[in-house]
Amino acid sequence: MGKTVATETDRADTDDSGGDDADGVAAGALAPGLYVVATPIGNLGDMTERAVAVLRAADRIACEDSRVTRKLAQRFAIHTPMTAYHDHSAPAVRARLLDDLAQGARIALVSDAGTPLLADPGYKLVADVVAARIPVIPIPGASALLAALTVAGLPTDRFLFAGFPPPKQAKRQKAFGAVAAEPGTLVFYESPQRLAACLADMARAFGARSACVCREMTKRFEEVRRGPLDALADHYAQAGAPKGEVVIVVAGAAPETADDARLDALLADALATLSVREAAHAVAWVTGLPRRTVYNRALRLADDGAGTADRNRGGD
The CATH number given to whatever domain includes residue 232 is 3.30.950.10
CA distance 16 to 22: 14
> 267 and 201 in one domain?
no
Span 205-229, pLDDT tens digits: 999 999 999 999 999 999 999 999 9
> 212 and 233 in one domain?
yes
Span 168-183, pLDDT tens digits: 999 999 999 999 989 9
Nearest to 255 by CA among 263, 247, 267, 245: 263
Number of domains in the chain: 3
Domain contains 147: no
> 137 and 26 in one domain?
yes
Question: Within the chain, where are the H helices?
Answer: 22-24, 49-57, 66-75, 91-102, 123-131, 144-152, 169-179, 195-206, 229-239, 255-271, 276-287, 291-303
The ranges of the chain with pLDDT < 50 are: 18-20, 23, 27, 306-316
> 262 and 190 in one domain?
no
Query: Would you state the pLDDT for residue 26?
Result: 54
Domain contains 195: yes
Domain contains 53: yes
Query: Would you state the pLDDT for residue 261?
Result: 81
> 117 and 211 in one domain?
no
> 283 and 219 in one domain?
no
CA distance between the termini of the chain = 42
Span 69-90, pLDDT tens digits: 999 999 999 999 999 998 777 7
Query: Would you state the pLDDT for residue 243?
Result: 92
Exposure on the CB side of residue 284, measured as CA atoms within 13 A? 16
**The sheet that has 185-190: what strands, in order across it?**
159-161, 185-190, 246-250, 210-215, 223-228
> 214 and 189 in one domain?
yes
Query: Would you state the pLDDT for residue 237?
Result: 97
Domain contains 15: no
> 197 and 114 in one domain?
no
Domain enclosing residue 95, as ranges: 22-142
Query: Would you state the pLDDT for residue 257?
Result: 63
Domain contains 116: yes
Query: Would you state the pLDDT for residue 160?
Result: 97
> 50 and 119 in one domain?
yes
Overall pTM surpassing 0.95 (yes/no): no
Query: Would you state the pLDDT for residue 14?
Result: 53
> 292 and 238 in one domain?
no
Query: Would you state the pLDDT for residue 315?
Result: 43
Query: Do residues 247 and 186 make contact, with C-beta atoms less than 8 angstroms apart?
Result: no
> 202 and 129 in one domain?
no
Domain contains 171: no
> 95 and 71 in one domain?
yes
Domain contains 148: no
Domain contains 4: no
CATH number of the CATH domain containing 95: 3.40.1010.10
Query: Would you state the pLDDT for residue 311?
Result: 42
